[in-house]
Structure 1
């Protein structure tokens, strides 16, 4: 039984990390927002067009939460009227490999499932 403790401990640590990530990226919108911003700064209306189905209140809420967690930042553009860009932070860029891998897996899965139908 002693030999299982290191494996169990590693497994439990992995579960903690997964839970922390799920706490940040819960719901269906945050990862999509992060994915959109990996392609460069976006205005609010750009994000609304790119992320199909997201409402204005939900987008505002999700942007605030991502900003609160240091993954994105608002950049106010001194223009008339004043405009705001949402930009992924250096820390937010660390999510990029996860987003790309998730996209790759999803596309592969779609092909797999469509091939069986």
Structure 2
């Protein structure tokens, strides 16, 4: 029984880690936007039209801190900043597909659209 409890505790901690990284209204949409290639701030904001610049900036920083995305500065005039998924971020692809598949199912069952 002790082993089952340890496995359960380990999985509960891992689930909290996942939720800490992807929580909120904007992080998954940002990650999905970047699955279509490297983008500048304005390009991400166009993809996610209803996110404010301040919120987008905060969420990009949080995703960068959690090593899901990387921010690259290009020495140009004006300075260009580009965001891309890290290998860790890219490893979320299967998870995102499952979330999106479940989201489509949820909309059909509950929302009716």
TM-score bin, normalised by smaller chain: 0.7 to 0.9
Q: CA RMSD in A?
A: 1.6
Partner of residue 91, structure 2: 94
**CA offsets, 1:58-113, max 9 Å, x none?**
11111111111111111223333221110111121111211111011101221223
Structure with the greater alpha carbon radius of gyration? 1
TM-score, normalised to structure 2, is 0.87
Structure 2 Cα separation of the partners of residues 64 and 36 of structure 1: 16
Q: 2:82 aligns with which of 71, 81, 85?
A: 85
Q: Does 1:14 align with 2:11?
A: yes
Partner of residue 105, structure 1: 102
Give the secondary-structure state (helix, strand or coil) at the position aligned to 1:52.
Answer: coil
TM-score, normalised to structure 1, is 0.85
Name segments (4+ residues, structure 1) moved above 4 Å: none
Equivalenced residue count is 112
Consecutive unaligned residues in structure 1, runs of 5 or more = none
